[in-house]
Chains A and B, each alone.
Chain A
Amino acid sequence: MMDLLEGAPIQLQAWFLGLLRSFGTPEWILAVLSALIIIGTIIGVFLVLFALTSVLERKILARAQNRYGPNRVGPFGLFQPVADGIKMITKEDLVPRTADKVVHFLAPVVMLIPALLVLAILPYGRGMVPAEMDSGILFFFAVGAGTEVAVFMAGWASNNKYSVLGAMRAIAQMISYELPLVISAIITAMVAGSLSPSAIVAAQGGFAFGFVPQWFVLTPWGFTAGLVFYIAALAEANRSPFDLPEGESELVAGHLTEYSGFKYATFFMAEYIGMFAICGMFVTLFLGGWQAPVPALTIIPSWCWFLGKICFVAFTMVWVRATLPRLRIDHMLAFAWKFLLPMGFAAFLSAACWHYAGRGPAAWILSLAIIGIPYLLLGNSFTNRFAVSRRTYQFSE
């Protein structure tokens, strides 16, 4: 039964293509269809995830603040995305008179394309990679950087100072956080010895002592790199506490100020799909991809594990959003360059030492020390620098 489910997506596709072949459909149409089925399934799954997240995120945030959250449309408010969608589609699509109309129109499209493209290289399950690439990680970050262009297109084309300021902040943030993101991803590629996502997942397979999973996140360097990757991913996906490109208290809505109707919805869709993509990357690189955490649970299909882990990581992102306030721009950039990047390098060094010290207990202690010392030093210098002191007045009183 479970074996059947494990291969179900692939078997279904093969069965459908076989059915068409029996009708005498030409081979080239079958090849195109086979690709289209995969694309359609992935986009469909992620759109459903997006719709679900848009309502569940609001519910979780509400619960964190002891509120009910949306509960009016449908059972438990689960049809809220439908209502939101209808509202977004029927709203007027405003374009400012002085806007660069072509670029203004293209920006949401350009935003969505990289978000969808990077979904191609994620290993969704055992032998379920839509596009098997030797340098999949490189592809992910190279294409993912395209969203920065879209954000700036949106800001510039709107011809509005809030939009441009928001876009400039977004660029500063995304470029700063790209570095720790890529450094921490490189560490896993270095240990696994490959840039292919499937190879990295395979390197995390098996169980130590028969029950401890060998995910990278369970090693000192992997935990640090994972944390750096996670924080940088929050910034890349414009998630709170790094959501200042659209900080409504300062910038109206940043680069989204002049967008309304379905273009606005497209931006949001791209942002959420991008978030899921980067969650998928985090799962692939650090949380063992589609591997089950306990040997007994390997009977559950691998693609279920992958989707479940993505949802878990997305949930933690909402949790962080419910907890932390938005950072100030200079604090945020200082954090990226003066803390995350050095910690990324420390994890890099630690991973290398861990590998060459034989991956045994001695390697653990060495790698812990290499990470722990800079963490304590950097962390304390950071908290001291931004420590809130009592405000003193020189001339009043």
Chain B
Amino acid sequence: MNFPGSGIVKGLAVTARNMVGSYFEKDRLTTEQYPEERPKLPENSRSFPFLIYDGQDPESGMRCVACKICEKECPPQCIFIIQDRDAAGKPIKRPKVFDIDISVCMCCQICVEVCPFESIRMDQEYELSSFDRFAPLLLDKARLLKSNAYYHSIHPTEAAETDAQLEVERKKKEAAASAKAAKSDKPTEAAA
């Protein structure tokens, strides 16, 4: 037989403990005060795609070669690419225009999966609200290009894997080139 009303007293004690405790034990408070305190995003979280460049200069370090595979694969068709041409009018492996309309983009990551040059990746930027529906949400090349270092800062594991893969490919290419050079060297030697 409980003393009647003891449950209420117990409940009052619990709330009183919280009331006082939340002023002294900071880990009781789970609230994240957003504009001042930023959430620590999980590594695999993603928002919209961005383009990676190597080195310091966005234009010269651009990995994208304007192959347009992502443009063709994009389900909502939010990517728009125009290939650049040199002075003679010959197409070169560089996009002149690379736009992503993030008001259309559905963050499906298919562009990332199809890209053969590891040049497009998913960003974690989420503060993209604007006062205009059109221009600020159409990201152009200048806003899309971000450095490899930035990629390392948001997705370290994935970026390391990508770098390792690129390194392997680069070595393979070098080996192939040197083999080719050796092969092309031999006949000259023989000729000599």
A residues apposed to B, CB below 8 Å? 60, 63-68, 71, 319-320, 322-324, 375-376, 378-380, 382-383
With a cutoff of 8 Å between Cβ atoms, the chain A residues found around residue B28 in the complex are: 66
What is the distance, in angstroms, from B57's C-beta to the closest C-beta of chain A?
A: 43
Return B127 CB to nearest CB of chain A, in Å: 18
Known: A320-B12, A324-B11. A64 touches B29 (CB 8 A): no
Question: Which of A67, A319, A376 sits near B15, CB closer than 8 Å?
Answer: A319
Contact B1 A64 (CB under 8 A): no
Dominant SS at the B interface? helix
**In the bound complex, how far is the Cα of B18 from the Cα of A322, in angstroms?**
10
Given contacts A375-B4, A383-B2, A383-B4, contact A323 B15 (CB under 8 A): yes
Give CA–CA (A63, B23) in the complex, Å: 8
Main secondary structure of the interface of A (DSSP, over half): helix
Query: Which size class do B's interface residues fall under?
Result: 20 to 34
Residue of B nearest to A376 (CB): B4
Instruction: For A63, give its contact among B1, B14, B22 (CB under 8 Å).
Output: B22
What are 9 A-to-B residue pairs whose CB atoms are below 8 Å? A66-B18, A66-B29, A67-B22, A67-B29, A319-B19, A322-B15, A324-B8, A324-B11, A379-B5
| Chain B residues within CB distance 8 Å of chain A | 1-5, 8, 11-12, 14-16, 18-19, 21-23, 28-31, 33
Asked if B18 and A380 sit within 8 Å, CB to CB, the answer is: no
CA distance A379 to B6 in the complex (A): 11
In whole angstroms, how far apart are the Cα atoms of A71 and B22 in the complex? Answer: 15
Nearest B-chain residue to A60, judged by Cβ? B19
Contact (Cβ within 8 A) A63 B31: no
* B residues in contact with A383, CB < 8 Å: 2, 4
- CB proximity of B2 to chain A, nearest CB, Å: 7
Q: Do the beta carbons of A319 and B29 come within 8 Å of each other?
A: no
Known: A375-B4, A380-B1, A380-B4. A67 touches B14 (CB 8 A): no
A63 touches B8 (CB 8 A): no
Q: Closest 4 A-B residue pairs measured CB to CB?
A: A379-B4, A64-B15, A323-B11, A323-B15
A68 in contact with B29 (CB, 8 Å): yes
B81 to chain A, nearest CB (A): 44
Is the Cβ of A64 less than 8 Å from the Cβ of B31?
A: no
**A382 cross-chain contacts in B, Cβ below 8 A:** 4
Tell me the minimal C-beta distance from A318 to chain B in angstroms: 10
How far is B17's CA from A322's CA once the two chains are assembled, in angstroms?
12
Question: Distance in Å from the Cβ of B94 to the closest Cβ of chain A?
Answer: 48
Tell me the complex Cα distance, A319–B20, Å. 12
Q: Nearest-CB distance from B43 to chain A (Å)? A: 28
Closest Cβ of chain B to A35, distance in Å, is: 41
Nearest CB of chain A from residue B178's CB, rounded to whole Å: 64
A66-B18, A319-B19, A378-B4 known, 4 other contacts, Cβ within 8 Å: A63-B19, A66-B21, A323-B11, A375-B4
